[in-house]
Structure 1
Amino acid sequence: MSNLQQDRQLLEKLSPSRMLLPVVIGLGVVGFMFWRSYKPGDLAPLADARPWWLLVTLLVLLVRDLGYVYRIKHISEETLSWKQSLDVIMIWEFASCVLPSAVGGTAIASFLLNKEGIPLGKSLAYVMVTAMLDNLYFVVAVPLVILLAGDYIYPHEALQGGFVLTLKIAFGLSYVFTLAYSGLMAYALFVNPHSVKRLLVRLFSLKGLHRWRRRAYHHSLEMVHASAQLRGNSLGYWLQAALSTAFVWTARYLVIGCLIAAFVPITAGTFGIIFARNLIYKVVLLVAITPGGAGFAEGAFPTFFRKFAGSDTMTNFILLLYRIVTYYLYLVLGTIFLPRWVGRVFGKKVVKEVMAS
């Protein structure tokens, strides 16, 4: 298969026509939840809304996206211009919306960077850096929020004891896996990538894991190449990359608390618990098989945040706002940025083919 054919197959995965399924699923679930829960007077808190919290929400979203743009520009060692960085981030976010949560936009990120003129080896290295830093944020943040929020991090009020225990076990396993994977990536990138390559190949040669041996081999090769590309970067480079990662993920987890505070009075402690529950909520969404977690995100939201939002109807209303500003907004932005980017990189003829597919 030629490179052009491979490029077109990847672009087809980003076709705006793929928006239809997640939109129908997501809005269908929210509509059903409204229909099932609505009672006259449930939306009375809207009359006492605090508009400044909605402005804070938009500001958080704006600075988060600017943080993402800065991070990719910095991690790419200033290879990308500000405009290129903005295009990459907007299309990356769009890809996260139209691909299953378990895949996410990372699968398309190295393709975007490569088409912006960055060699494939460096593109893979930069994407691996973002993935490693994202995982490390989770590894560092979880102990901190558990220390601050304690057992309130789990939705005891919405789940029976057995389900809470299952959630705790799943969350604990995800943390251990993320910790191990982050440590392995860090060791491969900074210490000895070849030993990690040998370890992965041997591990996935065992009976029962053999089917993933080829994928593990290719992933280990990417680690070796990434290590070679990234060696020599200064401590300042890594500090800025880590701080920008912490900034964007913290902003990401603030959105739900800001939206709830716009309609329901909450204390600083409650805001912190909402922030903490975001970490478990996001882990649950990782198992979603639908594009952008559509349906799963809506269905799981009340379990974690109904306690803080008030009535079921208000919970659903805040959920709708949350999905608008963190999901549907990026679907719309993707339909704006993607054709412009494809036209700049591939030409107008390919734009028509992608938009029509």
Structure 2
Amino acid sequence: MPQLTEPQNEEQQLLHKLRPSRIILPVLIGLSVVGFMFWRSYKPGDLAPLANAKPLWLLVMAVVLVARDAGYVYRIRYLTQKVLSWRASLDVIMLWEFSSCVLPSAVGGTAVAPVLLHKEGIPLGKSVAYIMATAMLDNLYYVLAVPLVVLIGGDALYPHEALQGGLVATLRVAFIASYVFVSAYAFLMVYAIFVNPRSVKRIFIRLFSLTGLRRWRNKAYQHGNELVLASAQLRGNGVAYWLRASFSTAFVWTARYLVIGCLISAFIDVTWAEFWLIFGRNLTYKVILLIAITPGGAGIAEGAFPTFFGKFIGTATMTNFMVLLYRIVTYYLYLVLGAIFLPRWITRIFGKKEAEEILSE
């Protein structure tokens, strides 16, 4: 979790990690994996479905992508109680997405987001509280969505057609374990923010005082302090505030999970049952991305995509094309946008001279 207090030089070091040159490594990793996949399975005739592209579905996909980002901008502006302008909200979201692309998936944009809000004029304590609120809402969406997709898709959520029985069982265990962990953490955050943050802080400290966990005791203490502060900042907000935040969260994550289905539907005929199964498989696909150690899951996301969605597409060559297109619109696009937004934002916040030093070090 982000720290409550960070010296100025640490903020600059964190932003330095996001300099535009950092896009090179994930691009090389991702494109190398896709290139290898094409080299291994390419057959020219397999790309015939491209001639039958459906412009309407391509338009729907574009609308979903724009709506998703607009939803994120709306959510952060209203979570911060309109302290952020629309322009500042857009900058924060673009840089948040960019940081998720250039940092390992386990870190994502969470470490950077409080710094972005703080430099936009929001006190660091409030910044941490707002980011914790987004994390809580994101986790609650996952907690509520999983039972629904399991009800709809059942055992078909797991790619039996692409994995042997042992691997399917391993994926199922990982999926269940991640759901249990996310659920426990989400409800612990709800309890801490709205009921008794100090008791949760004590639980963290006692848990990480056990042998084998002591190395993380200081971070647990820090996280407990953050929960106490977040509770003080957020508890007084009314029902309308949380309803707005909840609906915008549901909107953006639903849009996020719809992208693959829209993309496949633009080139392949799928039934509505298959479309919603694709939506459900996004949640099992997410388990792989959560444990990815590469920047933005580069290489791992591309490599795992055919396993989860290949059966809906057909040939390996066409599936590899879908992988490339999917990563272009949901990953490489944000690398490019981040490389554009970051220098402008740093210049606006720190000034031209200091911005040059941060970006050139």
**Do these two structures clear the TM 0.5 threshold for a shared fold by scoring above it?**
yes
User: Which of 195, 200, 211 is 2:199 aligned to?
Assistant: 195
* 1:326 maps to amino acid: T
Percentage identity across paired residues of the two chains:
69
Match of 2:303 in 1: 299
Listed one character per residue, the Cα deviations across residues 178-213 of structure 1 (whole Å, up to 9, x for unaligned) are: 000001100000000000001110011011111111
Match of 2:122 among 115, 118, 123: 118
Secondary structure at 1:79 match in 2: coil
* Residue in 2 that maps onto 1:86: 90
Does 2:149 correspond to 1:145?
yes
Q: 2 CA distance for matches of 1:221 and 1:312?
A: 50
Aligned residues: 357
Q: Which moved more, 1:346-355 or 1:310-319?
A: 346-355
Distance 1:233-1:54 versus aligned 2 partners, 3 A rule: same
| Selected match of 1:316 from 320, 326, 330 | 320
Looking at structure 1, the residues matched to 291 and 232 of structure 2 have their Cα atoms a distance apart, in angstroms, of 33
Q: What is the distance in 2 between the residues matched to 1:156 and 1:35?
A: 25
1:104 partnered with 2:108: yes
User: Aligned Cα RMSD in Å?
Assistant: 1.1
In the alignment, which residue of structure 2 is the partner of 1:54?
A: 58
**Structure 1 residues 24-71: Cα deviation after superposition (integer angstroms, max 9, x where no partner):** 000000000001011130101111111221111111000000000000
| Alpha-carbon distance between aligned partners in 2 of 1:3 and 1:100, rounded to the nearest angstrom | 23
Residue deviations 1:114-144 (CA, integer Å, cap 9, x gap): 0000001100000000000000000000000
Which residue type is aligned with residue 232 of structure 2? A
Alignment correspondent of 1:351: 355
Counterparts of residues 1-357 of structure 1 (less than 5 Å): 3-357=7-361
C-alpha distance in 1 between matches for 2:124 and 2:235? 17
Q: What do residues 240-282 of structure 1 show as CA deviations (whole Å, max 9, x unaligned)?
A: 1011000000000000001100110001000000000001111
Normalised by the length of structure 1, the TM-score is 0.98
1: CA distance, partners of 2:281 / 2:11: 39
Greater mean alpha carbon deviation, residues 49-58 or residues 125-134 = 49-58
Instruction: State the Cα distance separating 1:2 from its structure 2 match.
Output: 8.4
SS in 2 for 1:42: helix
Question: What's the TM-score, normalizing by structure 2?
Answer: 0.97
SS of match in other structure, 1:319: helix
Runs of 4+ in 1 over 6 A off after TM superposition: none
Distance 1:175 1:311 in 2: 32
What is the alpha-carbon distance in structure 2 between the residues aligned to residue 287 and residue 102 of structure 1? 7
Once the 2 structures are TM-superposed, how far is the Cα of residue 3 of structure 1 from its aligned partner?
2.8
Unaligned runs of 5+ in 1: none
